[in-house]
Amino acid sequence: MIVLGIETSCDETSAAVVKLNSIKRCEILSNVVHSQISEHTDYGGVVPEIAARSHIQYIDKVIQRAMNEADCDFNNLDSIAVTSGPGLKGGLLVGVTIAKAISSVTKKPLLGINHLEGHALTIRMVQKVEFPYLLLLVTGGHTQILIVRNVGEYTRLGTTIDDALGEAYDKVAKSLNLGYPGGPIVESMATNKTDYNFKFPRPLINSQELNFSFSGLKTAVRREIEKSIPISKETACNICAEFQDSIIDVLKDKLEGAISCFRDEFKNIDLNVVIAGGVAANKKIFSSIKELSEEKEFKVFVAPKELCSDNAAMIAWAGIERSNAGILETNDVSVRTRWPLDLEGQKVRGAGIKA
C-alpha cells in the first residue's frame, strides 16, 4: 500500500509518500517539509493569512519533490490522505483543494485525516506499540491526555482549558524577546539556570481533574519579567528554567492520574505511554517522564524528532492505518477547523469545542 500524504494545517507545507510493505512495516519513501518559521518570526507566532499564502506558493513544488524523492508516479498510489482538520482554515483549504484535484485526476481514493490522529498514531510507524495505550499529546494548539483504544477510537481524559503547552512556550519566549518558535529556545535557555529565588504556580496540580491550565502560569511569568526589567541573560535563563519546571510538575501530576484511570480499566495490560506532538521533542520533558516511568513501572515512547513536529508522513500513515482498519470515509472530505478526537467527550470549561 502506497499513500501520498499532504499536511497544511498550520505553518508547515508538507507532502510525503509512505509505503506499507509486504511484511507490514512502514517505509517512509519521502517526507518533504517546507517550514514557514522565517515568515512568522517577526510576529512571534503564526499569522494565518501569511501561512495560507505560503501554502499556496509552495504546495505544488513540495508535492512534486515528494513524488520525485520517492521515485513514485501518481498511478502507483493507492490513495491520497490529506489533513482536513483541525487547524487554520486557510491552510486546510489549500491542502484539501489540491488533494481533491489530484484524486479527481488520478481516480485514487481521498482520505480526510484528523491532524491529531496523525500525531496519535505516529509512534506505530517506528515502534511496535499495540493498542490500547496512553497518549500525552502536546502541540502548539492542543494539550491532552487520551486513551488510544484503536484506530479511530479515543477517550479523552484531560485537555487544556485555555492555552496549549506549545503556545505557552511561544508566549514566554515572546515576552523575553527570545525569538520564534519559542519551545526549543526556552528549553535551551533553561539548561543554563543558576540559583534563583522565585517560584511560579503549578496550575491545577493535585486537583481531582486531569485538565490543564497554563494561562495563569503565563501571566505569572510575564509579571516576573516586568519586575525584573532590564532582563539579564542570567535572569532570562532562570525564568525559563522555573517555567519549564512548573510545566513538568503539572505534566507528571496529570499523567499519574491518567495512569491510575488506565490501570483501573485495563487491569491485565502492560501500560505504554506515548508522548506525541511538537513539544514531545523536548528532552527535559521526556527525561522527566522517563524517570516517572521507572517509578510507576510503565514504558514510555516518543517518535524521532523529525516525526514529532507537523509532517505529512504521519498523515499518510494515518491513512494507511485507517485503510487497514476498514475506516474509509472518502465521500465528503471537507475542512473542519475544530475536530476533537473524542467526539463523545464532554466539553470542559474554557476549552469548548476546541477540546
pLDDT per residue as tens digits for the range 146-174? 999 999 999 999 999 999 999 999 999 99
Q: Please indicate, yes or no, if residue 184 is contained in any of the structural domains.
A: yes
**Rounded distance between C-alpha atoms, residue 7 and residue 13, angstroms:** 6
Q: How does strand 26-35 pair with strand 143-150?
A: unpaired
Q: Please indicate, yes or no, if residue 355 is contained in any of the structural domains.
A: no
Domain identity same for 83 and 188 = no
Assign 2 a pLDDT band (cuts: 50, 70, 90): very high
DSSP tag of 326: T
Quick: pLDDT tens for 301-310: 999 999 999 9
Q: How does strand 2-7 pair with strand 79-85?
A: parallel
Quick: pLDDT tens for 177-193: 999 899 999 999 999 99
Q: Say what the pLDDT of residue 355 is.
A: 52
Q: Say what the pLDDT of residue 208 is.
A: 84
**DSSP-derived 3-state class of residue 52:** helix
Hey, how many other C-beta atoms are within 10 angstroms of the C-beta on 66?
25
Helix %, strand %, coil % of the chain (to 5): 45, 20, 35
Q: Please indicate, yes or no, if residue 65 is contained in any of the structural domains.
A: yes
Q: Please indicate, yes or no, if residue 290 is contained in any of the structural domains.
A: yes
Assign 350 a pLDDT band (cuts: 50, 70, 90): low
Q: Where residue 36 sits, what CATH number does that domain have?
A: 3.30.420.40
- pLDDT score of 198 more than 90: no
Number of domains in the chain: 2
C-alpha triplet 174, 303, 173: angle, nearest 5°: 5
Domain identity same for 217 and 331 = no
**What radius of gyration, in Å, describes the C-alpha atoms of the chain?**
20
Residue carrying C-alpha cell 479515543: 154
- pLDDT score of 61 more than 90: yes
Q: Please indicate, yes or no, if residue 351 is contained in any of the structural domains.
A: no
Domain identity same for 298 and 311 = no
Domain identity same for 288 and 318 = no
User: Residue 90 corresponds to which amino acid?
Assistant: G
Domain identity same for 212 and 266 = yes
**Rounded distance between C-alpha atoms, residue 16 and residue 316, angstroms:** 7
Domain identity same for 148 and 227 = yes
Closest CA to 273 of 116, 118, 117, 135: 135
Domain identity same for 215 and 115 = no
**Domain range enclosing 83:** 2-123+306-339
- pLDDT score of 109 more than 70: yes
- pLDDT score of 11 more than 60: yes
User: What's the predicted TM-score (pTM) here?
Assistant: 0.94
Quick: pLDDT tens for 38-58: 999 888 889 999 999 999 999
Domain identity same for 65 and 207 = no
Domain identity same for 172 and 256 = yes
Domain identity same for 230 and 156 = yes
Quick: pLDDT tens for 239-282: 999 999 999 999 999 999 999 999 999 999 999 999 999 999 99
Assign 353 a pLDDT band (cuts: 50, 70, 90): very low
Assign 330 a pLDDT band (cuts: 50, 70, 90): low
Rounded to an integer, the average pLDDT of 313-325 is: 97
Residue 273 region by backbone torsions, left for phi larger than 0, else alpha for psi between -120 and 50, else beta? beta
Assign 32 a pLDDT band (cuts: 50, 70, 90): very high
**DSSP-derived 3-state class of residue 41:** helix
User: Residue 140 corresponds to which amino acid?
Assistant: G
